[in-house]
Amino acid sequence: MKIHTIPKEKGSRRREIRQMKKVITYGSFDLFHEGHYNLLKRAKELGDYLIVGITTEQFDESRGKLNIVDSLIDRIEHVKETGFADLIIIEDHIGQKVEDIQKYGVDIFTLGSDWEGKYDYLKELCEVVYLERTKNVSSTMLRREKYPLIRLGMIGTGRIAARFAPETHFVSGIVLNSVYNPYRKQAEKFATRYGLELYSEEVTEFLEHIDAVYIASPHETHYAYAKQALLMGKHVLCEKPMTLKEEEARELFQIAEERKCVLLEAIKTAFCPGFQRLLSIAKSGTIGQICDVEACFTRLTGENTRERTDKEYGGSFLEFGSQTLLPIFKLMGTEYKEIRFDSICDKNGIDLYTKAYLSYENGMALSKSGVAVKSEGQLLIAGTKGYILAESPWWLTRSFEVRYEDPNKKDTYTAKFLGDGLRYEISDFVNMIHAGEYKSYKFTEEEAIAMAGVMEKFLQKRKENEKGGKRNEDMGT
């Protein structure tokens, strides 16, 4: 008589797993290396069944681990290839470890010794074991070897430059090493204050010593600096507005493509995890078809500031218009039918408060910016089924609400926003350089060109109104 075995049913396999000694471990497992292999091997030896939690890019970003190189799919594949993992799960939020341990009935939680003590609080739920870390290897080290450090220089030493400099420390793979200012003393002062190696008042010489440049000089100088840097083969991260003419923006992107350089407009909100989330939810159909986007940004600035005194390039729209146009272009697109401006101007002709109305085939949008008029800085996205409200400071997107006809029904979303938020745009800039990827979906070339086009139209309107002697009144088309 032959003995046949009946294949086990799923239920009995589950029962079998339940009885096993289960071990869990977590990591990014980026640029998979020997240290990861050793850890997984020893983790598996601690029990019978190994669960490996792999972090998402968003989760890594939110906990400040920027510049992960491998995609989540690749990282999963590399862990799978070791053959040690019985189950691979995705880790995407804080507090998940506590949930997973209970959900999977974990007996042992383990991590490398670099985490010694950090997870002792889990001892209430299971055994916690720290395994000795393999010496002299880490993803950070490999990233450094694989990609030479990007030497970044900064043009300009103003307010935004001062906020930018410390943020560079949070992104690996890049080092801010120099600064340029046509006034040598200013450059020297900035370099001393932020511990930079070099400073210069001569732009060509300055550009020769770097791989990439961050342009934070006055608006009207962006184009010339960006062009020179790109022609010298340097990657460019340029403060907003990148240029004040559509044709100039087009030309810069053309040069960037020819020279194989990254050209990115530094609209920090575009790169923040929370804003990315808001956009995906807005586009997911939750609020139906998007019909109207209203974005407002006002900051009262002193009478003697550049915003209030520079007759040619000061004013609220040039200062904050890029910020408010960002969600408009992202959600309504760049193909508007018409744009119209209304401004309240100062005696010197500078706009203190500007509304830009955009009309689209299937909707409309409004941008409000102010330097001497204060309003509620909110972002409101109206759809056919509901609306999204992101309150001030929506540009540092930490939370937003989706609301519906029924006021009792509303969903609140929150997201991490670290530091000054500039680190997200710096991180994307670095990742693009490393990947040889010259297009950003977070802020596209098309959007940057359209943005420059709006600035150009606004300046033309302002000129026409000045010629016509209009002051302190409507600047509408």
Q: Which two tokens stand for residue 113?
A: 């010794």
Give the closest residue to 108 by CA, choosing from 91, 89, 118, 122: 122
Q: Return the CA Rg of the chain.
A: 27
Q: For 289-396, where are the E strands, in sequence order?
A: 290-298, 338-345, 351-360, 363-370, 379-383, 386-390
67 is an interface residue for ligand CTP by CB under 6 A: no
In terms of Cβ atoms closer than 10 Å to its own Cβ (0-12, 13-18, 19+), residue 5 is exposed
| Least Å from the CB of residue 201 to ligand CTP | 39
Sole binder of ligand CTP in the list 22, 24, 37, 39 (CB under 6 A): 39
Sole binder of ligand CTP in the list 111, 191, 212, 371 (CB under 6 A): 111
Q: Which is nearer to ligand CTP, 75 or 442 (CB)?
A: 75
Sole binder of ligand CTP in the list 96, 134, 378, 399 (CB under 6 A): 134
Q: Which stretch binds ligand CTP (CB under 6 A): 110-118, 265-273, 362-370, 372-380?
A: 110-118
Q: Which stretch binds ligand CTP (CB under 6 A): 5-13, 31-39, 230-238, 377-385?
A: 31-39
Residue 434 CA to residue 431 CA, distance in Å, equals: 5
Sole binder of ligand CTP in the list 22, 28, 326, 421 (CB under 6 A): 28
| Least Å from the CB of residue 124 to ligand CTP | 21
Paired strand residues for 294: 366, 380
Q: Which is nearer to ligand CTP, 122 or 373 (CB)?
A: 122
Hunting for tokens 């997107």 — which residue is that?
Answer: 397
The number of residues that bind ligand CTP (CB under 6 A) is 17
173 is an interface residue for ligand CTP by CB under 6 A: no
| Least Å from the CB of residue 53 to ligand CTP | 10
**If DSSP codes are grouped into helix, strand and coil, which group holds residue 15?**
helix
427 is an interface residue for ligand CTP by CB under 6 A: no
Hunting for tokens 């450059």 — which residue is that?
Answer: 187
Sole binder of ligand CTP in the list 46, 59, 138, 271 (CB under 6 A): 138
Q: Which stretch binds ligand CTP (CB under 6 A): 107-115, 149-157, 284-292, 336-344?
A: 107-115
82 is an interface residue for ligand CTP by CB under 6 A: no
Residue 477 vs residues 179, 343, 363, 457, 458: alpha-carbon distances, Å: 42, 11, 19, 10, 10
| Least Å from the CB of residue 140 to ligand CTP | 3
CB 90 within 8 A of CB 56: yes
128 is an interface residue for ligand CTP by CB under 6 A: no
State which of positions 139-168 bind ligand CTP (CB under 6 A). Answer: 139-140
Q: Which stretch binds ligand CTP (CB under 6 A): 27-35, 176-184, 268-276, 387-395?
A: 27-35
Q: Which two tokens stand for residue 455?
A: 């600035």
Q: Which stretch binds ligand CTP (CB under 6 A): 6-14, 85-93, 132-140, 343-351?
A: 132-140
Residue 5 vs residues 8, 9, 14, 16, 19: alpha-carbon distances, Å: 9, 12, 18, 17, 21
Q: Which two tokens stand for residue 461?
A: 């309107």
Residue 357 CA to residue 348 CA, distance in Å, equals: 24
| Least Å from the CB of residue 330 to ligand CTP | 31
Q: For 391-444, where are the E strands, in sequence order?
A: 399-404, 410-414
Q: Which residues bind ligand CTP (CB under 6 A)?
A: 27-30, 35-36, 39, 111-112, 114-115, 133-134, 137-140
